[in-house]
Chain A
Amino acid sequence: MTMIRRLRTSPITPWATGGLLVALVAVLPLLDLSLPGVLPGSTYTPGTLQLLAFAMVFAALALSYHLLFGVAGLLSFGHALYFALGAYGLGIVLRDTELALVPAMAVVLMAAIAVAAALGALSLRVSGIAFAMVTLAFAQAGSVLVRRNASVTNGEEGLPLRVDNIPAELVGVLNTRNVYWLALVLLVVVFLIVAWFERSRAGHVVAATRENELRVRVLGMTPFRVKLITVVLAGGLAALVGMVYLLLQSGVTPAVTTPDFTLTLLVIVVLGGVGSRWGAVVGGLLYTLLDQRLTALARSEAIQDLPEFLRIPLSEPLFILGTLFILVVVLLPGGLAGVARRTLARADSARARAGRSLDEEATP
């Protein structure tokens, strides 16, 4: 009893649980588990692994967005830009140069950091809602750039991945599980970097600017610099995620450059619980699975036979997700993480009460 409670409160526990989870996820491709209704097939099948890898990539991307919105309180509508920069950048470098994968990734990462620094410095001249609009404008410019320059980006068709200089282990359906592990490594690395940043001095300061910028200023720190650092870090991580996405999808389409794509991230982070790292991860996983399932559901006969006024809304996954999102914002402040926290707190206090009465009985 007390043992359990001690475990629960120890700071090591979440990390231990996390490590266990990672190990579990890592061995999934070697197991034959099926979750009908949640996963399209058994856990070792490429289709399922592809979906799970995709979910992890999204979770990692949501974590990078969590840095902006959850930690720094910066509402950005342009985060897709850096993700797209990673995916398209790597695709173009691999196609037009003979660089190997890792150097190519390094080049693209440098470029993304430079762009994030420049655009971040500009957009941080305004705050709050104006910041949101400005980031949206920059991302839109990026989107137009991708669509208009078909000679470089292949336009609406999307850019296929040229595999000549990529390790063979990462190519082809049979190697899906390698890409799956890559996605897992990515998620873990991004998680650790984000956690480390939040604990760093800059992370504390930027969180403080979210609460009260004035106080930070009074303490003699410049909010601008720590915010810029956060924007650059989030942009760099998003680009990294974009590169893994390219490898996973064997290509990239302009859909990832649109403002809607960033809005999806916002939905994920809010769904998971603003300010919670685990919330971002869980939100990312859940959103991807839900989106995939809802799309499958929309095509199912059960839905197609419904009368029109039900069929039309139910066959649009984004309609359902958007509505769900509104409901979470209005009814569930704190998202999933908030729910979890409240449930745990309630369980804890219930247990404390039970424990106390037991103690009282024991001592005559």
Chain B
Amino acid sequence: MTDEARKALGPILRVAGLSASIDGQQVVEQVDFEVPATGVTAVLGRNGVGKTSTLKAVLGLISRSGVVEFDGERIDSEPTHRIVQRGIGYVPEDREVFASLTVAENLRLAERGTTPHRDMVDELFPDLIARSAQRAGSLSGGQQQMLSLARVLMNDNRLLMVDEPTKGLAPRIVTEVAAALERAAAVTPVLLVEQNLPVVRRLAHTVVVIEGGRVIHAGPAAELLDDDERTQQLLGVHSTDHGAPKGDTDHGAPRGDTEHGASKGADESREETP
């Protein structure tokens, strides 16, 4: 589809002046962007700049203010479950499958409406069906990501919001996840948070770059990624292809034990005082 045709359809999601806070601390500040009604829009930015928070604010998972329009209707004062029922599928960062529930139960819980596309799940993730009685907590990281995607792809959605689906996965699984997303994106627009630039290059046509809770750049994906210097400046990483295979591991595995790993560890120990 040409860019013109995309514009003609009007955005599926429009965000204007969106701010959000967690525990009284502002994490998203006056963010504006649009998600076209087709294709993949990627949200980029360094660690901790507020990408996840932006998605959560759209869904009402954290307290927010500003305008959020879904398919032309305001959704910014609706509770999360209503927003989702309008046809938004959310695949959170870190998968968030229900560890104590089985695979089948995870899927059953996610069923919305009367005609879940079980066949699609079967086809895309045959492995999951074989493991339907297994506790989701005992799945591998890659399998959990598949489950998290399957929970969403099973339903009819008008928008998918997918947060770092390739985080911490081996290169082969990254490819599989990307393929599944590509198929989904053929029918449903996707808002994708992704650090893995080769994946972004493969899937996205538009990018939105966030820094310090604000949008600092928005435009066609290729334009940004072709400009190595600009990419380096905005994201702090090179976009050039000579590192593509390395790119996978670079932004996949090791990220886990840098900033994110650290904050995760602190988060877990937070409940129990020594």
Contacts and interface: CB of A to CB of B under 8 A. Distances in A.
A and B: direct contact (Cβ < 8 Å)?
A: yes
A224 B274 contact: yes
A127 B271 contact: yes
Interface residues of B, number: 10
B267 A125 contact: no
Contacts of B270: 213-214, 217
A124 B273 contact: yes
Interface string B255-274: 00000000000110011111
A262 B172 CA distance: 60
B265 to A, nearest CB: 11
A218 interface: yes
Contact of A214 (B24, B266, B273): B266
Interface in A227-248: 227
A285 B271 CA distance: 37
Contacts of B25: 212
A223 B266 contact: no
Contact of B273 (A211, A212, A218, A223): A223
B3 interface: no
Contact of A127 (B266, B267, B273): B273
Contacts of A227: 273
Contacts of B23: 211-212
Most A CB atoms within 10 A — which of B23, B271, B273? B273
Contacts, number: 22
A214 to B, nearest CB: 6
Q: How large is the interface on A (under 10, 10 to 19, 20 to 34, 35 or more residues)?
A: 10 to 19
Nearest to A130: B271
Contact of A211 (B24, B267, B271, B274): B24
B266 A125 contact: no
Given A211-B23, A211-B24, A212-B23, A218 B266 contact: yes
A223 B266 CA distance: 13
A327 B41 CA distance: 48
Nearest to A128: B271
Interface string B11-27: 00000000000011100
A127 B269 CA distance: 12
Contacts of A218: 266
A217 B272 CA distance: 12
A117 B272 CA distance: 18
A343 to B, nearest CB: 24
Interface string A201-225: 0000000000111100110001110
Contacts of A126: 272
Contacts of B271: 127
Contact of B266 (A124, A211, A217, A224): A217
Nearest to B274: A224
B24 A125 contact: no
A125 B271 CA distance: 9
A125 B266 CA distance: 16
A75 to B, nearest CB: 15
B273 to A, nearest CB: 4
Nearest to B262: A218
A121 to B, nearest CB: 10
A227 B274 CA distance: 12
Contacts of A223: 273
A351 B244 CA distance: 66
A213 B273 CA distance: 11
B123 to A, nearest CB: 42
Nearest to A125: B273
B39 to A, nearest CB: 38
Contact of A224 (B24, B267, B273): B273
B238 to A, nearest CB: 30
A124 B273 CA distance: 7
B3 to A, nearest CB: 43
- Give me the 4 closest cross-chain CB pairs, A-B, nearest first: A224-B273, A212-B23, A124-B273, A214-B270
17 contacts: A124-B273, A125-B272, A125-B273, A126-B272, A127-B271, A127-B273, A211-B23, A211-B24, A212-B23, A212-B25, A213-B270, A214-B266, A214-B267, A214-B270, A217-B266, A217-B270, A223-B273
Interface of B: 23-25, 266-267, 270-274
Interface of A: 124-127, 211-214, 217-218, 222-224, 227
Given A126-B272, A224-B273, 9 more contacts: A124-B273, A211-B23, A212-B23, A213-B270, A214-B267, A214-B270, A217-B266, A223-B273, A224-B274
